[in-house]
Structure 1
Amino acid sequence: MIIKKAELAATAVAASQYPKEGYPEAAFVGRSNVGKSSLINSLLNRKSLARISSVPGKTRTINFYNINDEYYFVDLPGYGYAKVSKEEKKKWAGIIEGYLFNRNELKIIFLLVDIRHEPTEDDKLMLEWIKSSNHKFAVIATKSDKLSKNQMIKNINIIKKSLMLSDEDFLIPFSSQTKQNREEILDLIESIKL
C-alpha cells in the first residue's frame, strides 16, 4: 500500500460522530502506552499525525484517520490505565465496546501488546471481546527492537500461549523504530477491501 494521503478525519465519542463515507476500517486497540499512536505514525510514514504521549491514557476519544480516501485507521482509547477514575474507565469501555460491536465498516482489529511483557488480564479480555465480535483480527507485539532475537522468539511463544492463539492467527512483531513488519501489516489492511 502506498500512502498518498493521511489525515485526521474525525474525533468521536459517539456513533453519530463517526465518518459516513463507508470506507473499510482497521481498528487499533491495546493498553495505554502500548504504542498505538507510534504504530499508526510508522505505518503512515508520519512523525506526529497520531499524537504520541509519554503519559498513559491520553487518547480518550476514537480517532479516525482517512487513508487515501480508501480506508480509515481507527485509534481507540487505551485500556488498563490505573490512574483513571472508575467512571472514566467505564466510559472508555462503553465507547470501545460500542464501536467494536456496532460498526459495519470495521473489517479488521489489531490488538497491540508489548512484546516485553506477558499479556495482561485486560489484554486477554479484549481478545475475547474481539473474537466474539467475529471480526478478522491480528495481534501486533510492539517494541520488538527492545529485545534480542532469542528473547523475541521466547516472548512471542509466551504471548501465543497466554492469548491461546492458534497457528492460523496472526501474531506480528513490530518496531516503530526499525519499522519491522510494516509492509506485512499494510498488506493485511489492504486485504480487507476484498
Structure 2
Amino acid sequence: MQLLEQRILKDGQVRPGNVLKVDCFLNHQLDITLLDEIGKAFYETYKNDGINKILTIEASGIAIACMTARHFGVPVVFAKKAKSKNIDGDVYTSTVHSFTYGKDYDITLSKKFLGPEDKVLIVDDFLAVGKAMHGLLDVCKQAGATVGGIGIAIEKGFQPGGETLRGQGYKLTSLAIVDYMDDEGNLRFRPQE
C-alpha cells in the first residue's frame, strides 16, 4: 500500500534493534483517514471470504480492527493481555512473547465471543517474528473458529513471521513489507505485487 509506505518514510523512525517507530500515526496517535484506508484495503482483499468477525490483540491492533470491521459491517473481538475482573465465564488462553516488551504474557478471550460458527480475519499493526499472531491462531484453534485471513499493516520481511505463516498455508496480506532496516535510519520496502 503506497500510502502507508509513504507515511512510514515521512513520519516513521528507525531505532536501534530493528525497531520501527510509527507512534505518531499508527499505534499511539492515530491518523483515522490512514486507518480507514488500511481497513478498506483489507476489506477489498477479503470481502468475498465470508468473514463475520475481526480479531486482534490489545492494544495497538484495536484501531486497525475497528476501521476494518466498519467496512465489513461485523464485530471486533480482541484478546486481552492483562487479567481483568471484567471477563466473566470461560476463556481461551494462550501465552505470547512480546518482542517490544521482552516478556511473556497470557492473552485471554471470552469463549462467548468466538466459536466454531465464526470465520475471522485476524489483523494487527506489526508482524515480525509472529509470536502474537501464533497466540491468536491458537485461540482460534481452541474456539474451533476458521481463520479466513490475516491482515498486517507493517511486516518486517527480514524477520521470519510472515514467511512462517505463509508456509503454514495462511492467506496473509501485509500492506507494507520492510525488507531492510539499519541503525542509521535507512529502510527499504519490498516491491508491491
Give the TM-score band, short-chain normalised: 0.3 to 0.5
TM-score by length of 2: 0.42
More helix by share: 1
Quick one: higher RCO (CA 8 Å, sep 6+), 1 or 2?
Answer: 1
TM-score by length of 1: 0.42
